[in-house]
Amino acid sequence: MGTKTEIAWTDHTFNPWIGCTKVSAGCANCYAKTRDDRHMLGPLSHWGPGSPRHITSAANWREPIKWAKAARAAGRRDKVFCASQADIFEDDAPVEARQHLWVLIDETCDALDWQILTKRPQNILSVMCDDNLNLGFFELTRCWLGTSVENQEAADKRILELLAIDAAVRFLSCEPLLGPLDLQYPKSFYPEGPETCCSGVECGCHGLPVDPPVIYGVDWLICGGESGPGARPMHPDWARSLRDQCKSANVPFFFKQWGEWLPPMQDGAPGLGQMLNCGDQYERVGKKNAGSLLDGREWKQFPLVRS
């Protein structure tokens, strides 16, 4: 909850409250729930529908004010990930604390880039209406708004919901990446493939899809494997595909980590260990030893922020 963070793509982590409800495959080994269960704050669990969320201390809520002050003094902008142990847009979010968060963001957005990640982008608009936010709030306050996309099912459900909301940066967190992702067109609209305007002769559309590929609405993509107990391996071709799709669309790509499992044909991979259904072999070497090299190089790209 404090000033230090181990998350490679941000400067600070701020949790206005702790607790959430698991909603999809990416939540199966939730590190935040495991951590909360280990360090139980109070007699009740903060996880699951109807469970009370733990609102963090007043001292913790003052931390972003300090970060903003330091950033202003240094003439820089700092990034703040909100929230690593909660989902701001979940149904059981504490409303008063959430409304306090919007005030805090507004007061510090001149110096801080707030990065808000959710698995419930379908709730963003209704929350904004419930909390009487300007519909341009996330763009005006220079927020980075993202959604978690762990597999194609999540991509088809969540990405278009995210792209409907204006923000300074819209990003995808493909971590833990549990399967291949095709971000070339909105499959929820075209379950059998993209429709086209015409043959390309009449209007010059060249037979391209009516709607542009969804990746062209994304400003940044984070990719990473799973870590911790029960971690599932990530196939290197899944990561390579996302890298290549990002390169084709000129979208900054951030490869965070392999996670617990290092696949074959990567630097340091011993070529022994767990088998995936593709027949490739993986070695469980731990997150630190697995590292973050994809085909021999690091990918730590960041987006340009729309002002």
pLDDT of residue 78: 98
d(CA 304, CA 168): 9
pLDDT of residue 184: 80
pLDDT of residue 75: 97
Higher per-residue pLDDT: 31 or 85 = 85
- The whole-chain average pLDDT of the chain stands at 86
Closest Cα to residue 238, out of 182, 291, 180, 292? 180
For the chain, list the strands marked E by DSSP: 12-13, 17-18, 54-55, 78-82, 112-118, 144-148, 169-174, 220-224, 253-257, 261-262, 274-275, 281-284
Q: Report the range of poorest mean pLDDT among 1-5, 96-100, 102-106.
A: 1-5
pLDDT of residue 221: 98
Give CA 107 to chain center in angstroms.
24
258-281 average pLDDT score? 61
Q: Check: CB of residue 49 under 8 Å from CB of residue 117.
A: no
On the question of pLDDT at 283 being above 50, the answer is: yes
d(CA 75, CA 77): 7
Torsion angle in degrees (nearest 10) through CA of 114, 118, 123, 129: -10
Q: Report the range of poorest mean pLDDT among 34-43, 49-58, 109-118, 154-163.
A: 34-43
Give CA 249 to chain center in angstroms.
19
122-131 average pLDDT score? 98
Q: The pTM is what?
A: 0.86
Give CA 176 to chain center in angstroms.
10
For 22-69, list the strands marked E by DSSP: 54-55
Residue 304: band (very low, low, confident or very high) from pLDDT cuts 50, 70, 90: confident
Q: Report the range of poorest mean pLDDT among 92-96, 130-134, 278-282.
A: 278-282
pLDDT of residue 154: 96
d(CA 246, CA 169): 15
pLDDT of residue 76: 97
pLDDT of residue 266: 64
| Pairing, β 112-118 against β 261-262 | unpaired
58-63 average pLDDT score? 98
Element (H, E) at 131: none
d(CA 116, CA 237): 28
Distances (CA, A) of 285 to 49, 227, 262: 35, 11, 7
Closest Cα to residue 287, out of 268, 306, 307? 268
Element (H, E) at 155: helix 152-163
Residue 12: band (very low, low, confident or very high) from pLDDT cuts 50, 70, 90: very high
Amino acid at 16: P
Q: Which residues contact 140 (CB under 8 A, 6 or more apart)?
A: 134
Distances (CA, A) of 97 to 34, 88, 104, 214: 23, 10, 10, 33
pLDDT of residue 240: 96
On the question of pLDDT at 124 being above 80, the answer is: yes
Residue 229: band (very low, low, confident or very high) from pLDDT cuts 50, 70, 90: confident
Beta bridge partners of 72: none
